[in-house]
Amino acid sequence: MAPLLDVRDLTTHFFTQKGAFAAVDKVSFSVNAGETMALVGESGCGKSVTAASILRLVPDPPGRITGGEIIFEGRDLLSLTMREMRKVRGGRIGMIFQEPMTSLNPVFTIGDQITESLREHRSISRADAERRAIELLDLVRIPDARRQIHNYPHRLSGGMRQRAMIAMALACDPALLIADEPTTALDVTTQAQILELLDELKRSLGMAILLITHDLGVVAEYAQSVLVMYAGRGVEAAKVEDLFHSPIHPYTRGLLGALPHPDDDVDSEGRPLPLNEISGMVPALDAMPAGCRFEPRCSYAVPACKMTDVRLAPLAEGVRSAACLRAADIVQDQP
């Protein structure tokens, strides 16, 4: 069965006075119907620009999609007119942005913003749209939805605003929901509630989720497949259980090694040990290394890594991919 979303060699450049720089550089991945697929990596690795590119929301200027294909439900989104693309956004693809307070319009009520989306994509009366908006607020567990529908965003808590954003994203029964850091700026308890809600809605509505996050704990709990990104590129793609059991790319191994383990990371006197870290910094867009982009920070690097630009490629077993010159050696060294 063909994937619901198939991103192939997606490339997005930003054009500046210093030149053109690829924030997303030939990134490829797919999302199957009904699954949660995660894009994970440090801030600035290109995750959010990838999401914006899928919906063709990259501001031009200074950004522009310069290559690749985005096949969704059998159509290349890059070939659609802007009129056709507007039907896809908010219709077949829903989007939850990082910060609801900047995504929700402060001068319109929550109900107005949900009904506007409904009436944009469906032939529906204002009264029916309002009834549907109340149903959606109930679905995302906003209490007293008939009253809350008349509230403005600033009258809601952070968690309630995020739930309202989810309701808006689900208004037209999307096949795919893109969730870009959906728990940013929320307290830990509310984060867990929002993630559980998204997971329940995915199962009950039968939609797929593209989850963008830097939190590997969230990936382990909620995703089925994952693409690890670094400096605008995919560096490892795998099923989640394979990635956590036997990470291959040195960057992935570094990320997992930096996770805290409260029961183990204490000295003989019970004092916490310092966390492991990946030395160095992510390279700037205008200062990418000539070979492997992770080479300056990599403990597995050999001289050839400075000159060899390795792209994401399937490994021998064919069920996962890594962009590392020494991937085969690392696999052999694993127990």
User: Residue 89 sits in a domain of what CATH number?
Assistant: 3.40.50.300
Domain boundary among 176, 205, 223: 223
User: What pLDDT is recorded for position 286?
Assistant: 85
208 Cβ contact list (under 8 Å, min separation 6): 4, 5, 31, 32, 33, 34, 35, 36, 37, 175, 176, 177, 202
User: What pLDDT is recorded for position 119?
Assistant: 87
Domain boundary among 197, 223, 249: 223
Per DSSP, 311 falls in state P
User: What pLDDT is recorded for position 72?
Assistant: 97
> Mapping DSSP to helix (H, G, I), strand (E, B) and coil, where does residue 75 land?
strand
200 and 304 fall within a common domain: no
20 and 148 fall within a common domain: yes
Number of domains in the chain: 2
211 and 243 fall within a common domain: no
Domain boundary among 223, 245, 275: 223
206 and 292 fall within a common domain: no
Cα angle, residue 226 at apex, residues 260 and 166 outer, rounded to 5°: 90
205 and 323 fall within a common domain: no
295 and 192 fall within a common domain: no
* Spatial separation of the C-alpha atoms in residues 237 and 320, rounded to whole Å: 6
281 and 328 fall within a common domain: yes
Asked whether the beta carbons of 53 and 262 are under 8 A apart, the reply is no
User: What pLDDT is recorded for position 152?
Assistant: 94
Domain containing 193: what range? 5-223
User: What pLDDT is recorded for position 318?
Assistant: 65
pTM exceeds cut of 0.85: yes
Asked whether the beta carbons of 12 and 58 are under 8 A apart, the reply is yes
256 and 317 fall within a common domain: yes
Question: Whose structure tokens read 């979303």?
Answer: 5
User: What pLDDT is recorded for position 107?
Assistant: 92
**pLDDT < 50 regions, the chain:** none
174 and 75 fall within a common domain: yes
22 and 154 fall within a common domain: yes
213 and 250 fall within a common domain: no
137 and 285 fall within a common domain: no
Given the DSSP bridges, would you call strands 63-72 and 225-230 parallel, antiparallel or unpaired?
unpaired
Q: Which residues pair with 30 in a beta bridge?
A: 6
